[in-house]
Chains A and B, each alone.
Chain A
Amino acid sequence: MDREKQKNELIGFLRTIQRPDYPLDEIDENLGLTESGLIDSLALLQIITYLEQTYDVDFREKGIDPGELRSVRTILDLIAREIAT
């Protein structure tokens, strides 16, 4: 799966978990997801589950770096690293 497709799928997923009162048409790749208020900490858990289930990411050994889940770009970078390894 190429990065663009991964991005579209991820943004589609983020749309399902974003705060309902957050009026945003475009999600910029570099937008801080929690800092901007788009999602809350509970939604971060849903992103973790999404990555585990969709890309088989296993966070158990290296733990979770919140910085890696900061924006669409950092999440896509994480997916790329996981696929490469």
Chain B
Amino acid sequence: MNCSALNEAYRSIAQFHENERLIARVQSWKIIGWLTPNRRRHVLFIGAFFAGIAGVLNRYAPWREYRHAGTWLVPAVAFPVLLAIVYLLYLMALHFKRLPKVVRVRPQICCHLFFWALLLVIWSAPDSSGFGIAVISLIALSFPYLIWRVGYMLLSGQRGKAAGTGFKDHLFYIWPVWDGTNTPPGKGHDNLARAEAQTAEAYARSFLGGIKLLLLVLVWKVVMQVIGAVVYGDPRISLTPLLSGHNLGIPRLKSIISGDAAASLMITWVSLYLELVWEALSIASKGHVWIGILRLFGFNVFRNTYKPLLAETILEFWNRYYYYFKELMVEFFFLPAYLKYFRSQPALRIITAVFAAAFVGNMYYHLIQHKNPLIAGDFVALWQVLGARLIYCFLLAAGIACSMLRQQKQRSSSSSAALPRGGIYRLRSIAAVWTFFAIINFWNIAANITIPERGRLFFSLFGF
């Protein structure tokens, strides 16, 4: 068998979801024909209630540990109140044009102000263990998860796309059965509706696309197990004991930064690059689950992660690494800043918008993500977990801004400069992108050391 035949065989296996015969076969399944878009949305709508209850209970349990307070009556009250708030926000999106101008112009800011008003109430309460405060705390705890999702719903209202939609068309992505992080995979109603399969054939394609992603999750999990055992010798991985102590013994970056493991300069650099690979595999396998489930339900949306380690520019990497987080930053921070500031100064306009998204937006997203210390008003704990991230976000924003301006300059200066180049040039570009993200990731790893200590370690990477 020659190379091209092997390549062809690989393609037909890897791209099985595009095989027309297989699509026709799946399309003929009764379940595919029965699960019309309306029925699929009904299933997800009912699932949303269970996901919502599970989500509230999940957030309540760690909160109870954090504050040692509350009864099980708290989630029983908080869930219907949260549901009512989401419904009220849905009505606002539905009748967006009738809202007061201040809300119409800045719906997202109003929504976030509501969250911060809840925090103020909690922080200023004389008795933090009271039942009412416990309910408000649980509502506030649930908000970082909901706020970006309802943000997309409000965006839909702002664009006039929510008119004629039902509550069930929104609740299923606000409390999705696929759960996930605070970032909504698939975004909101507008994007999901656009990507929704309307025919049995389109549904079969989406279904197979979902199966492919879920199979890829298994592949990436196996790869992670192998790296964990062979490279790191992680005792928590079941493969490690089978190797009878034969592993490369490279420490995880977190252990090196925390001082739990000693490593030479070369091993530290290797660990830096490996961490990037590990993070990419980890985020890909999580994202493929969310998008895989979405596709199984007929929403044929883009992947969350698509070959980021082959990106040739910083901008491309950011676009491919965690697509829906990037989209969230773009829609809620980049575009508003881009439209508002420095419209007559193109370079400054881009720099401002990039910093609004990758620095301010990124920091804000992670600030409200650390909900337990935030709601408890534990600012020392917040600084400990987020201080180093300030530097990470600054470097990320600077890198993206440079990458964007460079690409734009290349494009406008000459067409040949923007032409794709292969071979060594491509490898060099990929290596540069890896190096940039591996280095800035040093500031993103959670470790219990101060910023000056981390700074000293960081500069020691370069021999200082």
Residues of A near any B CB (own CB < 8 A): 17, 20-21, 40-42, 45-46, 48-49, 52, 59-68
Contacts and interface: CB of A to CB of B under 8 A. Distances in A.
Given A52-B343, A59-B339, A67 B190 contact: yes
Given A63-B336, A64-B335, 12 more contacts: A20-B419, A21-B420, A40-B319, A45-B338, A46-B408, A48-B339, A52-B343, A65-B161, A65-B190, A67-B159, A67-B194, A68-B159
A61 B158 CA distance: 9
A41 B316 CA distance: 10
B159 A60 contact: no
Contacts of B411: 17
B235 interface: no
Contacts, number: 47
A40 B410 CA distance: 14
Contacts of A65: 159, 161, 190
Nearest to A34: B302
B315 A42 contact: yes
Interface in B139-164: 155, 158-161
A64 B104 CA distance: 14
Interface residues of B, number: 29
Nearest to A35: B302
B315 A60 contact: no
In order of increasing CB-CB distance, the 3 nearest A-B pairs are: A65-B159, A21-B420, A20-B418
Contacts of B408: 42, 46
A7 to B, nearest CB: 22
B78 interface: no
Nearest to A58: B339
B241 interface: no
Interface in B186-216: 190-191, 194
B111 to A, nearest CB: 14
Interface majority SS (helix, strand, loop, mixed), chain B: helix
B404 interface: yes
Given A60-B340, A61-B105, A62-B159, A41 B330 contact: yes
B375 interface: no
Nearest to B419: A20
A20 B420 contact: yes
Contacts of A63: 155, 158-159, 335-336, 339
Nearest to B420: A21
A59 B319 CA distance: 23
A49 B346 contact: yes
Given A41-B319, A41-B330, A48 B338 contact: yes
A43 to B, nearest CB: 8
Contacts of B177: none
Contact of B339 (A17, A20, A60): A60
Interface in B397-425: 404, 407-408, 411, 415, 418-420
B194 A45 contact: no
A68 B104 CA distance: 19
Contacts of B330: 41
B23 interface: no
B169 to A, nearest CB: 16
12 contacts: A20-B418, A20-B419, A21-B419, A42-B315, A42-B407, A52-B343, A59-B339, A61-B104, A61-B105, A62-B158, A63-B335, A65-B161
Contacts of A67: 159, 161, 190, 194
Contacts of A46: 408
Contacts of B315: 42
A26 to B, nearest CB: 19
A64 B335 CA distance: 8
B430 interface: no
Contacts of A42: 315, 404, 407-408
Contact of B350 (A40, A45, A60, A68): A45
Contacts of B104: 61
A9 to B, nearest CB: 18
Nearest to B161: A65
Contacts of B319: 40-41
Nearest to B418: A20
A41 B346 CA distance: 16
A67 B388 CA distance: 37
Contacts of B336: 63
Interface in B88-135: 104-105
Centre residue among A21, A41, A59 by max chain B CB count within 10 A:
A41
Contacts of A59: 339
A52 to B, nearest CB: 7
Contacts of B346: 49
A64 B158 contact: no
Nearest to A46: B408
A67 B190 CA distance: 8
